[in-house]
Amino acid sequence: MYNKTGKFTSLLVVLFIVIGGFGTMAMAQSDLKTRDQVADKYKWNLADVYANEADWNAEFDYVQIKLSEYQKFHGKLTSPKAIAECYTIHFDFLQKLNKLYMYASLGKDTDLKNPKYQGMYEKVSKLGSELSAASSFMIPEITSIAKAQMDKFIQSPELSKYKQLLENMFRTKAHTLSTKEEQILAKFSQVTAVPSQAYNILNDAELPFPIIKDENGKDVRLSHGRYRSGLYSNDVEYRRRVYKGTYEPYMALKNTFAALYNGRVKTRITEAEIRGYDNPVQAALDANNIPVAVYENLISTIDKYKNVLHRWAALKKKVLGLKELHPYDSYASLFPGVQKEYTYDEAIKIVTAALQPLGKEYVNTMVKGFENRWIDVYETQNKRSGAYSNSTGCGPHPFILLNWNNTLDDMFTLAHEVGHNMHSYFSEQNQPFHYAGYSIFVAEVASITNEALLLDYLIENASSVEEKMALYEKFLVGAQSTFFRQARFAEFEKEVHDIAVKEGKILGADELTDLFAKMYSSYWGPDMVVDVEEGHSWARIPHLFKYNFYVYQYSTGFVAAQALSEQIKNEGEPAIKRYLGFLSSGESDYAINVLRKAGVDMSKPDPVKSTLDKINRYITELEKLIIEKK
């Protein structure tokens, strides 16, 4: 796929999400249907992308042969005409490449053992690398033009349509090094990636998890999957065994994990200094032109109102009937007996009704996707697990992958992925290809907005007090894990780097553990017993090791979605119009501005405070229902 500068990257716009929990172990492959046992209406129609493989091969050959056209622009990007002509062929190639990727990727994900699609995917990946190499001269040549001269170029008829792209490219020019220096940093990226790569191997493949007794007294070896599902168990002793057993290897290897994490900390600090940023947070947020105030407002506002999470902890402790509330109790359901099943067709009707507040244009487009095989619904043999939305930025339309199992979580996953799909669809329909993507800062907003509207609809139409209570709990657990938890990670990440920058001190394993435990206690309050294991939880958060100040965006996305869903319900048409404008904007403006136009200013604390007020309100409603039930 392309990024905001038009530079190729090998990733499609694929958005993944896990909704309302951590899922369950997949069924044995032999128990699953084969694809030919599933009706066509529940499967993707890949003919929407290419009518057949011959067409795919023809487009592949065309791009591969035509890559040589880049050569005629080498050293000649010195005029609006030359730049525009180069962009024309560049984005034409990228559109074709993205469709090639989509066809191969969708085919591969429906049958991971099919060598044909795997081979096609590998072929197009190689072609993507070749395209990236062939076009690598473009950004250095364009940014070598004086800013004053480029300002004039942008006003020309040839380049006016690339105004945002070019201005953003030059916005970061002050932090861009010389071509030779950039090449040196690029070569060292293989070295600076070692801590993350080592973490992946250690955490995902070599971690020596112990064997414990499961809920039935059988010996099982712990894993990441068993940890996640175990925290939802209604058996408190099993939850405790899973929790404590999982942390045994993290505690035993804490110094190794600390060395790997500090390797990333040092890299971020060094790269920020080299590029002339004040600190690593500023360097990370500047890529998408996000003010540091967004990050700081999130943390400081939550800090003032942590009593909201404290209330939730006290209520969980009371309803669960526990003398002590421990971290391994935080995901246990207060209402385990409330479970309903939904067929896919039933869920379609419910989601369609729940999203009516978004207006006819939105709903009609969504229904079009339901009726025209934009979604691959059921789990089948060798199909990729999980769920995602996949878009090329150039049509024919986005696709959704599901693995339907008739649960409430499946229905929320459907609404979530539809949000991604509609965001991509409206952007593609209203923006040229080079603006059809959207920043990760807003990537989860549309999907969580759909979840919020679905939840409210289900609460309003609940058939019993018990069902209503379970739905309020679902929201509060989501707020606990997506809003508070990710903000806590963001605060921890910032604090560790601030200490390193301001005090010149790199924290050791025990210091990292103490800091993490103190923050956990501060967030959850006096009703939560912070077990020694929880302090070591920093070691099992991949985002801290692999990504660069990324997690805060989960919290801000949650905040923006709550604000937008409330506006849509309360204001009606004016808010719908702003929201469709948001969905249609793509990257034609900076993400912070796109959200502001929609009615949410994330540079101010107000939206965060409003979300905290909503969480507080839902806790109060749940408390009332619990009393009413008694």
* DSSP 8-state assignment for residue 70: G
| 2 pLDDT above the threshold of 70 | no
Beta bridge partners of 2: 8
For residue 28, what pLDDT is reported? 52
Locate 93 and state its tokens: 């190639």
Residue 30's pLDDT is 58
Parallel, antiparallel or unpaired: strands 211-213 and 399-404: unpaired
| Backbone dihedral angles phi then psi of residue 104, each to the nearest 5 degrees | -65, -40
Residue 10 has pLDDT above 70, yes or no: no
Query: Cα(435)–Cα(428) distance, rounded to whole angstroms?
Result: 8
In tens, the pLDDT along 230-260 reads 999 999 999 999 999 999 999 999 999 999 9
Q: What distance in Å separates the CA atoms of residue 367 and residue 510, rounded to the nearest whole number?
A: 54
**What is the DSSP pairing of strand 211-213 with strand 375-378?**
unpaired
Tokens standing for residue 248: 């045994």
Question: Is 90 exceeded by the pLDDT of residue 563?
Answer: yes
Rg for the chain, CA atoms, rounded = 25
How many angstroms separate the most distant Cα atoms in the chain?
78
Rounded Cα distance between 403 and 362, Å, is 24
266 C-beta neighbours (distance < 10 Å), count: 14
Buried/exposed 10-42: b ≥16 CB within 10 Å, e otherwise: eebbbbebebbbbbeeeeeeeebeebeebeeeb
Return the structure tokens found at 358.
């978004």
Secondary structure of residue 3 in the 3-state scheme: coil
618 versus 32: the higher-pLDDT residue is: 618
The answer to whether the bond into 195 is cis (omega within 30° of 0) is no
Residue 20 in this model has a pLDDT that exceeds 60: no
Tell which phi-psi region holds residue 505, choosing left (phi > 0), alpha (psi between -120 and 50) or beta. Answer: beta
Tokens describing residue 453: 């509207």
In the DSSP assignment, the letter for residue 327 is G
Give the mean pLDDT of 316-339.
Answer: 93
Q: Please list the residues that pair with 211 across neighbouring strands.
A: 221
Q: Are 538 and 512 in contact (CB under 8 A)?
A: yes
Q: What is the mean pLDDT of residues 272-287?
A: 94
Q: What element of type H or E holds 375?
A: strand 375-378
Neighbours of 344 (CB within 10 A): 18
pLDDT-wise least confident of 8-12, 301-305, 323-327: 8-12
Encoded amino acid at 365, one letter:
T
Nearest to 95 by CA among 214, 197, 2, 231: 2
Question: Running DSSP on this structure, what letter comes out for residue 2?
Answer: B
Instruction: Give the pairing type, strands 219-221 and 211-213.
Output: antiparallel
Decide: 9 and 2 in contact? Cβ < 8 Å.
yes
What was the pLDDT predicted at 29?
A: 60
Angle between helices 408-430 and 344-354 (to 10 degrees): 60
Q: Which long-range contacts (CB under 8 A, 24 or more apart) does 463-468 make?
A: 465/625, 465/628, 465/629, 466/335, 466/337, 466/338, 466/629, 467/338, 467/340, 468/625
Question: Token digits for 467?
Answer: 């069902």
Task: Report residue 104's pLDDT band, with 50, 70 and 90 as the boundaries.
Answer: very high
In whole angstroms, give the CA distance from residue 492 to residue 515: 8
Q: How many CA atoms lie within 13 A of 505 on its CB side?
A: 11
Rounded-to-integer distance, Cα 273 and Cα 300, Å:
26
Q: Which of 179-183, 336-340, 501-505 has the highest mean pLDDT?
A: 501-505
Question: 354 or 174: whose pLDDT is higher?
Answer: 354
What the block records as the tokens of 606 is: 């107000």
Band of pLDDT at residue 16, cut at 50, 70 and 90: very low
Q: Which two tokens stand for residue 546?
A: 């692999």
Per DSSP (E only), the strands in 139-267 are 211-213, 219-221
d(CA 401, CA 418): 10
- Close Cβ partners of 208 (under 8 Å, ≥ 6 residues apart): 249, 252
Please give the single-letter amino acid code of residue 445: V
400-415 per-position pLDDT tens digit: 999 999 999 999 999 9
Say which residues have a Cβ less than 8 Å from residue 32's Cβ, sequence separation at least 6: 379, 380, 381, 383
Query: Does the pLDDT at position 31 exceed 90?
Result: no
Whole-number Å distance between alpha carbons of 195 and 179? 26
Cα–Cα distance, 517 to 507 (Å, whole number): 14
Residues 60-103 have pLDDT tens digits of 999 999 999 999 999 999 999 999 999 999 999 999 999 999 99
Q: How far apart are CA 274 and CA 49, in angstroms?
A: 44
Whose tokens are 């839902």? That residue is 618
For residue 8, the cross-strand partners are 2
What percent of the chain has pLDDT above 90? 86
Provide the annotated active-site residues. Answer: 417
Q: What is the pTM of this model?
A: 0.91
* Assigned token pair, 593: 């501005």
Residue written as tokens 């967004």? 294
